[in-house]
A and B are shown apart, each in its own frame.
Chain A
């Protein structure tokens, strides 16, 4: 199992995974002037706090999508390595 890995450079993450990973960055970092406000208060929470709490599960959802894409890319890479070996 180790042998087939040798000499292989580190595989870069797929574009799809990178796009999905950039969504939480957009939503909870770069867009701060848009959501850093008190009103409208939702579920009794100031909007900024509500927004960040909302993005806890949404972040995991995005990363689950990214995970699926990475898994697919890994198995494709593994298959092509096997073909080469033949």
Chain B
């Protein structure tokens, strides 16, 4: 058998096994929206860990991180820094959000905005912004998957064909099993990803340099400036690093899919404990960096740095193992893509379409519409991955800048009595507009700082000032509590 056929066969087996787990995960359960979107809030520490890791560690982990080490050098360290700090930051608000989420039956990030600020329109706007940034993220996964399959099959499978097949499979198991599919598939995906990272990150330096130390010694000799910031870039220095790390650490859990993932936990303690141990998982990143650095020495001048890790793997390992890495890479794209698609579909049906166009819709119809939207979202993302051509990290940075603009509304909504609807509206609109303007007009970084960070500061200032200048409003959660209490006191309905 040819090398290409062996690699393809192994890859297909891995993906097929993963997809089977996905389909079985939701079998024999009635999939209402609560089950489909937040798994009935029943996951323990291990499944929540896997779900979060499954969503947080995407093709960007494998391709983008090695690509940054390869083409930019020192600035790549921001990835290692911000992921740990995102969990640190989440420790201080996710458990609190979980408590509120259970009490007020929140399923999505937009639900939080709707209930806290008693505004369906604000929630619909949050959903719209969320969807706009989720779709490119799905896109990013599909594009990465196409690259992985093409390289790992020695060009045996065309990129477009790979993306179409993967998209159909993902849409199918999301449709069938909802979030349970994502959590259970993560077990296989994480094990394979960790194995692939260890094999590539340690195997490659040993194969060509007899060790990691000698490889760095060689790098220090030949590329002394590559390893510290700004590395091989002109403008990604220390102020860029600090602003980007803060932005991403605060913004990571503002991604609607990660925000909602915490609702699957069975207690706030599970969420809190996860925040403590998740940073340990970032150990995969140094390994992936090693592969990128090795590639810089061995195969300089690659047109697309994101392919450096795969190129090294193909040079170093036998075909069957390349198939394993390719399969791990494909699942690493499919698992987060599934969650992104699910979240975008739920946001559209529950928080955008129903409140604005069909207030009388029943819960069952919302669940049906959400499932229908799975196909639509997947189709749109697929269209953009086939026709668009932007690099992986560029899209991710725009997305992060955008979703982080939710942060003031969430954190102040939790901890500050004064904050109100008008203030959050103004800050959010200004923040998103500033991001769009700065990034799309090529002004990122601005004055050495991440444009999204500048927009976030603007957002915070506006929310603060407007809150203080306008009339205070009731916290929507408290009003809801009182309404409940009143119902109980009169011995009312539902008892």
Contact surface of A with B, Cβ cutoff 8 Å:
2, 5-7, 9-13, 17-18, 21, 24-25, 28-30, 32-33, 36-38, 41, 43-46, 48-49, 52-53, 55-57, 59-60, 62-64, 66-67, 70-71
Contacts and interface: CB of A to CB of B under 8 A. Distances in A.
A52 B74 CA distance: 12
7 smallest beta-carbon distances between A and B, as pairs? A44-B213, A63-B276, A59-B279, A29-B245, A28-B81, A59-B84, A52-B80
B414 to A, nearest CB: 5
Contacts of A28: 81, 84-85, 245
**Which residue among A2, A17, A25, A45 has the maximum number of chain B CB atoms within 10 Å of its CB?**
A25
A2 B88 CA distance: 28
Nearest to B240: A32
A56 B283 contact: yes
Contact of A32 (B241, B272, B282): B241
A44 B85 CA distance: 25
Interface in B269-290: 269, 272-273, 275-277, 279-280, 282-283, 286, 289
Interface in B412-429: 414-415
Interface of B: 74, 77, 80-81, 84-85, 87-89, 91-92, 95-96, 99-100, 103, 211-214, 216-217, 220, 224, 227-229, 238, 241-242, 245-246, 249, 269, 272-273, 275-277, 279-280, 282-283, 286, 289, 414-415, 475, 478, 481-482, 484-485
Contact of B272 (A6, A41, A52, A70): A70
A45 to B, nearest CB: 6
**Which residue among A2, A36, A66 has the maximum number of chain B CB atoms within 10 Å of its CB?**
A36
Contacts of A45: 212-213, 216
A46 B225 CA distance: 12
Given A36-B228, A38-B224, A64-B276, A29 B85 contact: yes
For the residues of A in contact with B, the DSSP-based class is helix
B211 A21 contact: no
A63 B74 contact: no
Contacts of B84: 24, 28, 55-56, 59
16 contacts: A7-B478, A7-B482, A12-B415, A21-B88, A21-B91, A25-B85, A29-B85, A33-B238, A36-B238, A38-B224, A41-B216, A52-B77, A53-B80, A53-B283, A59-B87, A66-B91
B80 A21 contact: no
Given A56-B279, A60-B277, A60-B280, A49 B96 contact: no
Given A18-B92, A29-B85, A36-B74, 12 more contacts: A5-B99, A6-B103, A6-B481, A6-B484, A9-B478, A10-B100, A25-B85, A37-B228, A45-B213, A52-B80, A56-B84, A56-B283
